[in-house]
Amino acid sequence: MSSNEEVIPDGYDRRPVPQSETVSGVGLALITLGIGMTLPVFWLGSDVTQKVGFSAALWVFIGVCGLLGVLCALTALVGVRTRLSTYMVLQFSFGRHGARLINLIMAVTLLGFYAATADIFGSTVASALHSAWGIDTPAWVHCIWGSGLMTLMAIYGLRGLDRLSVWSVPLMAAFMLFALYLGLQRTVPGQLAGFAGSGDSLSLVIASTIGMVILTPVLMPDFTRYARTQKDALIAVLGMALGFPFVLGVGGVLSIITGQAEIMQVMAVLGVLLPALAVLMFSTWITNTANLYSATLTLATVSRAANWKLTLAGSLVATVLAVGGFMSHFLDFILTLSILIPPLASIYVADFFVVRRQHYALAELARSRPFGWPALFSWALASGVAWMTSFEGWTLTSQPTVDSLLVALVAYLVLYRFAPVPLTASSHPAP
């Protein structure tokens, strides 16, 4: 995951965004589109397509992004109506300290995506050097120097990052369209539709796709709190709903046409190796710097250390993971996300729309309890149920993510009535 924040001003981490600082939905859609323009998403598109075939993969990409698009629309409305960051929104249901626990999980997730992207960056550069000039270099070397540049920009170059982000998303999208055009020129009749894949489990690839996408709906208030109107907030959702299936689909199509799964090998077959290297290095540098910056801001809510220290520490941990072969566990990582992350959105959406009837007052947080036990218990229960349903023979809806969303929703509404709530008696009662 990444977050390009060119159109978003700094600040307002703990207070509502004023109307004077709001922006158009098109600008926000560009940001959410950029979240999907990353190498791990392209890689997953190729991996899923090779496993279940073209037609099934296409339905998975569209179906998952459509379902999560609905959830994203709800969380987007929470953001525009409260004008608060996700961290502040979570405090109403999870409590002050409970929200910090959730933020720590978010930070670990962002660093996981940073590690995966750094790993793919190193492999991409090494593969390009070998294909273009026959130079063999260890991928970990490129991973380390690339991570170093990303870290320096995260600490010192954020103003430049903001401006570069505006160009990186359209550039990456245009290049992917061009690569897709070149690939389609090579297809033979029936090549795509007839590709059946290796026959892997459809449930597993659905879960892995959900894990790749799910953080965007959960964190959507961070973006839509800056939306001018509710219509602008919903426009912002289109960037996610269209951006992820586009990149996933391009990755899948090109892997079938070229017979290659690794992105630089794909580009070498298409004859655009060096332009691809330049575009992908530029885009990856920008998006992974934003990943690290976002992780730093998240860690800052649970630690009093200076931001630059948190950036260095986060980068060091993530780089060690990348060099240590994190990508070999990346599918397990995103499958875990598909279990742990969805209940968070389900709980705070239920809290905002049903329990508190769209009334969030910051004055209440000053008197709130440290932990919102109904939310924490609901999250734990929903994650546990989703984990159990991921095994053969245990199922509610056949999809662990949908199970976790539904269990979290019902459990929170029930527990809220019978367990202590995180806010004081001044809060609005449950209906």
pLDDT tens digit string along 197-230? 888 888 889 989 999 999 999 989 988 999 999 9
DSSP string, 107-129: HHHHHHHHHHHHHHHHHHHHHHH
**396, 406 in Cβ contact below 8 A?**
yes
State the Cα–Cα distance between residues 271 and 9, nearest whole angstrom: 40
pLDDT attached to residue 80: 96
pLDDT tens-digit readout, 387-427: 887 766 677 777 788 888 999 999 999 998 876 555 543 44
- Say whether pLDDT at 293 is over 50: yes
Residue 395 phi, psi (nearest 5)? -160, 145
- Say whether pLDDT at 166 is over 70: no
Print the SS3 string covering 286-333.
Answer: HHHHHHHHHHHHHHCCCCCCCHHHHHHHHHHHHHHHHHCCHHHHHHHH
Encoded tokens for 341: 């992350």
- Say whether pLDDT at 11 is over 50: yes
pLDDT attached to residue 400: 81
Residue 427 CB neighbour total at 10 angstroms: 18
Q: Helices in 191-272 by DSSP H: which ranges? A: 202-213, 215-218, 221-224, 230-258, 263-270
- Say whether pLDDT at 252 is over 70: yes
Of the pLDDT bands very low, low, confident and very high (cuts 50, 70, 90), residue 23 is confident
pLDDT attached to residue 427: 46
Q: How far are the Cα atoms of 168, 175, 233 from residue 3, in angstroms, in the given order? A: 12, 20, 16
State the Cα–Cα distance between residues 249 and 327, nearest whole angstrom: 21
Q: What is the DSSP letter of 355?
A: I
pLDDT attached to residue 346: 95
- Say whether pLDDT at 1 is over 60: no
pLDDT tens-digit readout, 94-143: 998 999 999 999 999 999 999 999 998 999 899 889 888 889 999 999 99
3-state secondary structure at position 201:
coil
pLDDT attached to residue 429: 43
- Say whether pLDDT at 10 is over 60: no
pLDDT attached to residue 304: 82
pLDDT attached to residue 420: 52
Using a CB cutoff of 8 Å and minimum separation of 24, what contacts does 21-26 make?
A: 21/226, 22/226, 22/227, 22/228, 22/232, 23/226, 23/227, 23/228, 23/232, 24/228, 24/232, 24/235, 25/227, 25/228, 25/229, 25/231, 25/232, 25/233, 25/234, 25/235, 25/236, 26/235
Q: Which residue reads 């690939």 in tokens?
A: 183
Average pLDDT of the segment spanning 352-359: 92
| Cα dihedral 96/73/56/197 (nearest 10) | -40
- Say whether pLDDT at 244 is over 50: yes
pLDDT tens-digit readout, 298-330: 888 888 888 889 999 999 999 999 999 899 999
User: What domains, with CATH codes, occur in the chain?
Assistant: 19-326 (1.10.4160.10)
Average pLDDT of the segment spanning 345-361: 93
- Say whether pLDDT at 2 is over 60: no
State the Cα–Cα distance between residues 122 and 137, nearest whole angstrom: 10
DSSP string, 374-417: HHHHHHHHHHHHHHHHTSTT--SSS-HHHHHHHHHHHHHHHHHH
Of the pLDDT bands very low, low, confident and very high (cuts 50, 70, 90), residue 92 is very high
Q: Which range (116-125, 166-175, 354-363) has the least confidence?
A: 166-175
Encoded tokens for 94: 């999870």
- Say whether pLDDT at 170 is over 50: yes
State the Cα–Cα distance between residues 165 and 74, nearest whole angstrom: 26
State the Cα–Cα distance between residues 286 and 176, nearest whole angstrom: 17
**Sign of the dihedral through C-alpha 170, 172, 176, 179:** positive
Share of the chain above pLDDT 70, in %: 91
| Cα dihedral 217/223/226/227 (nearest 10) | -50
- Say whether pLDDT at 155 is over 90: no
